[in-house]
Amino acid sequence: AYVYQNPEVKAGLTGHGIWWAFSHPHARNWHPLTTLSHMLDCELFGLNAGGHHLTNVILHASTAVLLFCVLRRMTKTLWQSAFVAAVFAIHPLRVESVAWVAERKDVLSGLFFVLTLGAYSRYARVLTVRSYALVVVAFAAGLMSKPMLVTLPIILLLLDWWPLRRFQASASTPDPKHSLATAKRLLLEKCPLFFLSALSCLATVAAQSGSVGALEPFPLLWRFENAMISVVVYLVQIVWPVGLTPFYPFDIANLSPVETLGCALLLVGITAGCLWLRHSQPWLLVGWTWYLVMLLPVIGIVQIGMQAHADRYTYLPQVGVCVAATWGIAEATKALPRRSALLATAAAAFLIAMGILAWMQTRYWRDSWTLWTHASAVTQNNEVAENNLGTLLDADGKYAAAIQHFQRAIAIQKQRGQARYMLTIALAENNLGNALARTGESDDAIAHYRVATELRPDYADAFYNLGVLQQQQHHNTDAISAFEKALKLRPDDAAAHGRLGDALRSKSDERSALRHYERAAELAPDATWAQYSLAWLLATSPDPSLRDGKRALSVIRRAMQLPNAGSGAMFRALAAAHADLGDFSAAISAAEQGMRTAVVQGDVETVHQLQGDVELYRSGFPLRELMPTH
């Protein structure tokens, strides 16, 4: 959806593509700069995955270097800044954001995040409109890369406290009124940035309208409990990053009130300690608040998707924890003998360990089977891993094994007692239907498609698949209803338009069928089946007001120029168009060429059809004379 199945992105950088990136959500997100970066990669590398991965690595490495430069400039310290940047660069939690091309939004927004910090650091020294404009531009670019940056204005306020010390710099006396005026001025200064954050939130809510609905099955209390646990889980993963996986199940049954209370008390205790030391060690409060604030958009109070938490969500929040811990340790060890050697040894050991773990974690991302096998191994009752393993087996033709994984994914959800709510069970039901259909169990497949559409009335794929099987069983009225529902959800689905056209033509609704064939041909100009369907109706329709041999000839000739277009069926449509125009000699020639092609391709059915067509054309009749109905 982000790259190789998206026609707008695959086309590279085009004028229409740039307009589309800014005017349309992409994968239920509005992040036009991220979309443009994918388009640029396709322009430069095509669908060579190595180029896309290289871009992620370059962006992440650039962000790490810039983070070091910005921290050093703001704090005037070398080694603490270098350590924080190094941890950011090679920590195993970064693997998901860098190794996964679809997480381009993380590495691109991270770059603009650090550029915003650098621009703001400059603005704090040189209070000019131009320097502030750079802050606004960098921040806007970050929001257009990933809306998670909406809390960045609060981070800037924290940096005003430390290390920029803008609160103290404006107060030459401990006058409370003067301090309040300073705080108001600094807050007012961030108003344009908060306005941009509000606009980004509105755009995100609009783009995610289909995903935010996923929070309905989770009561607010459950989401709050999961949020408390996730914040602590992320802290543990900083020092013990093992068992990492791209999906952590939201297992409500295992949410322990005692565990939740313990996590909440721990977070309150850390916050209280940071507040107590805010004057003597301000970096503790700044780093800790940075961590909490940046997690707010993704902590799950507003649930997007079905995961309990995700490694990618720590990409920028973890920097705050590292800042607090690094400066805190440096302060706490001031009195130690041989302090420099001890800290250097400990830092090197930690970085080497993290580097080895990151290298090991990256290996799991080499292919989908390895990734989801690992996910299933390191988590319990992971329905997404089971479903994805089933999908891989299904694509490999191992239908029996695939069916077992899909059934396991469904059973996990039913065991939790949330079956009718979960989006993932609808996905598994649909995929199980696909596997059953491929093994010839059409009735069972239809039953599972129906369950999927009941669980998710917005599931276009399930409606489409249901319609295909109903069409194959000649239940065309039901198929028409299913395809119409699919198109209501996904109006630009060329395949659904083509299938609906076939079903309508079987009901002798030629005019409606033509409309859908035309739309399919428009949406899929490079699809030979779409052009063939349109040309076939134009050449063979029993309705004289719709029949247009000249247009059919134009459509089929253009389609014949497409790659892999020389099938027997295509020549049959070409022959029908010639015959409709009365050129039976050309029709016979095209039909005979089609027979030769069909023989080579082993298409016996088309050979027999073309033999009958040739006899008809030799008698001087167009094909429609034998086709009063489709």
| Residues 139, 116: Cα–Cα separation, whole Å | 6
Amino acid occupying residue 331: E
Two structure tokens written together for 233: 């889980």
**What value, to the nearest 5°, has the Cα angle with vertex 338 and ends 337 and 340?**
125
The three-state secondary structure class of 229 is: helix
3-state secondary structure of 249: strand
3-class SS of residue 307: strand
**With contact defined as beta carbons under 8 Å apart, do 3 and 33 qualify?**
no
pTM comes to 0.86
DSSP string, 516-554: HHHHHHHH-TT-HHHHHHHHHHHHH-S-TTT--HHHHHH
Answer whether 281's CB lies under 8 Å from 198's CB.
no
How open is the CA angle 593-598-601, to the nearest 5 degrees?
130
Six token digits for residue 187:
């807050």
Q: How many residues does the chain have?
A: 630
The mean pLDDT value of the chain amounts to 92
Q: For residue 628, count other CB atoms closer than 10 A to its CB.
A: 8
- pLDDT at site 206: 85
What pLDDT, on a 0 to 100 scale, did the predictor assign at position 205? 85
Kindly state the tokens that stand for 548: 């247009």
Question: Is the separation of the CB atoms in 209 and 64 below 8 Å?
Answer: no
- What the block records as the tokens of 166 is 């803008």
Is residue 282 a contact partner of residue 322, using CB atoms and an 8 Å limit?
no
Here the tokens at position 222 are 């459950």
- C-alpha span between 130 and 151 (Å, rounded): 23
Cross-strand partners of 249: 307
**Do residues 111 and 153 make contact, with C-beta atoms less than 8 angstroms apart?**
no
At residue 559's C-alpha, the angle toward residues 555 and 561, to 5°, is 130
Shortest CA distance to 231 belongs to which of 254, 264, 201?
A: 264
Q: pLDDT tens for residues 196-213? A: 999 999 998 888 765 444
The pLDDT tens digits of the residues spanning 246-297 come to 999 887 666 788 999 999 999 999 999 999 999 999 999 999 999 999 999 9
DSSP string, 593-618: HHHHHHHHHT-HHHHHHHHHHHHHHH
Return phi, psi of residue 307, to 5°.
-80, 150
pLDDT of residue 526: 87
C-alpha distance across the termini of the chain, in Å:
36
Q: Are 520 and 530 in contact (CB under 8 A)?
A: yes
* Phi, psi for 249 (deg, rounded to 5): -65, 145
Q: What is the pLDDT of residue 384?
A: 93
d(CA 231, CA 333): 27
Query: Which residues of the chain fall short of a pLDDT of 70?
Result: 169-175, 209-218, 252-254, 303, 305, 417-422, 624-630
Cα(238)–Cα(92) distance, rounded to whole angstroms? 9
What is the Cα–Cα distance from 532 to 367, expressed in whole angstroms? 37
CA–CA distance, 80 with 162 (Å, rounded to integer) = 15
Bridge partners (DSSP) of residue 307 are 249
In contact, 37 and 106? CB cutoff 8 Å:
no
Is 388 in a helix, a strand, or coil? helix
**Nearest 10 degrees: Cα torsion 540, 542, 546, 547:** 40
